[in-house]
Amino acid sequence: MQEIKRVAAIERENVDDCNIVRFYEAFIDQRHCYLVFEELEKTLYQLQMEHEFGKMAIRDIRTITFQMLTALVKLEDMGIVHTDLK
């Protein structure tokens, strides 16, 4: 599968300081393909819940934005375009 190859290629790069989630393995059964990644501390949804879905502090927004841009720059350096940002 093409996606597995791309994710594995990212994992071969040094991404320790790039805010890219670690890929561990992939496996396929009769119906689905599964990708196993590291578990993160919390999701953006959980962070929003902590703020009761109200306004987030500018420092939190800056931190998240910086982390996303750092990862996107690394992906761009690798010739990869992320097409599923939310």
Please give the positions annotated as active site.
Answer: 84
How many Cα atoms are found within 13 Å in the side-chain-facing hemisphere of 65? 7
Structure tokens at 46: 């959980």
Contact 33, 1 (CB under 8 A): yes
